[in-house]
Structure 1
């Protein structure tokens, strides 16, 4: 059975900024990462707006250096300021408005949970992809429900690129592949399986992901 190769979509964590920059530099340098989401939940709570913007500037310019597309998590103003894409949760505003504001070139993602109706709505509003999850029990979102495999398979009929998120790791990603069958998968979103490791091991981890996806 032939499968098109999914792309690795890396989400940042809440590491202190210099540690995060170090980790991302090592990750992006492998060429394994296709899309980067800047997701700094703790920073938003702890720091003033100026710090949030300073951090975002550092992260965006690092991604630019490696020619990796960036999406901001939930923050249309940041995305507009830095001319990046955006990922919107269901309560974070309209995809159509984001598309109008940010233009046709950038990546706009939408959280669709395990709901095929939300996935169809995301396509209608002009999203670049719909994110379905949780794929497996996730450390990041322990209370999120697992998305049933038949729901993921139904996305094939919608003709919108599929992103799968939640608890995906090197040791379970082929379960996802086998469950999906012929269903095309655009992005595999990963945080903990890469970012929770020490800087020294990040490059090896990314290369292992690269190999897994090449053998998809």
Structure 2
């Protein structure tokens, strides 16, 4: 495969954790203010599981979307096409959480649609064919968020990167171990715990450490 000479370094894709909302909001504000975050996903499964979870998630998401817009960071909602449409943002879909064609019906053409593809390049190719904005592969390493997820091999990632769609990697990634993927043409590196589980005073510096890691990424090798 011929590589483009204008290959660019990956971008940081931040996912929310399950902190109480007030703490979560403060952490997001600090992270977004660094201008290191390229994409933000609202993923609040514990909130959604509450008796009034859908209503509470909608209120939380409104505040987060307003905050992200202040820093010109696009937002995607995890697994919920109708909520994404209601908020005017994008969506990230698991394999069993709605079709890309449905998302395209309800979202505007400029909204991001992501698709979970686990370890399978065939699913990446399908996501491209269906019109997804990016495909996510992982877990790259064992993570606290999904400790039982299958681990994707370097070869599987390389195959995914050859499918002609923006690639996202997720799962147990840190600013130190991301160098194991250096050279792969990855668009987004999705992070939860390595940033969001830190105390507020440490978050800005951690975001900058991620940017430093990306600056040392190098040229793509497949």
Q: TM class, shorter-chain normalised?
A: over 0.9
SS class of match (1:155): helix
Instruction: Give the corresponding residue for 2:102.
Output: 97
CA distance in 1, matches of 2:37, 2:7: 19
Instruction: Give the corresponding residue for 2:31.
Output: 27
Query: How many residue pairs are counted as aligned between the two chains?
Result: 212
Contact 2:176 2:213 in 1 (8 A): no
- Superposed, 1:173-188 pairs within 5 Å as 173-177=178-182, 182-188=183-189
Instruction: Give the corresponding residue for 2:65.
Output: 60
Of 14, 19, 36, the match for 1:10: 14
SS class of match (1:46): coil
When normalised by structure 1's length, the TM-score is 0.95
Instruction: Give the corresponding residue for 1:204.
Output: 205
Of 159, 171, 177, the match for 1:172: 177
- Superposed, 1:67-146 pairs within 5 Å as 67-146=72-151
1:26 Cα deviation from its structure 2 partner: 0.3
Alpha-carbon deviations, 1:8-28, whole Å to 9, x = none? 000000111110110000000
- 1:194 matched to 2:195: yes
Over aligned residue pairs, what C-alpha RMSD do you find? 1.4
Instruction: Give the corresponding residue for 2:216.
Output: 215
SS class of match (1:213): helix
1:183 Cα deviation from its structure 2 partner: 3.2
When normalised by structure 2's length, the TM-score is 0.92
> Cα–Cα, structure 1 residues 83 and 2, in superposed 2: closer, same or farther, change >3 Å?
closer
Q: Which moved more, 1:63-72 or 1:95-104?
A: 95-104
CA distance in 1, matches of 2:105, 2:167: 22
CA distance in 1, matches of 2:88, 2:104: 12
1:2 Cα deviation from its structure 2 partner: 8.8
- 1:152 matched to 2:157: yes
CA distance in 1, matches of 2:16, 2:161: 28
What are structure 1's unaligned runs of at least 5 residues?
A: none
1:157 Cα deviation from its structure 2 partner: 2.5
SS class of match (2:152): coil
Of 46, 50, 69, the match for 2:50: 46
CA distance in 1, matches of 2:133, 2:7: 20
Contact 2:120 2:160 in 1 (8 A): no
Contact 2:12 2:38 in 1 (8 A): yes
What are structure 2's unaligned runs of at least 5 residues?
A: 218-222
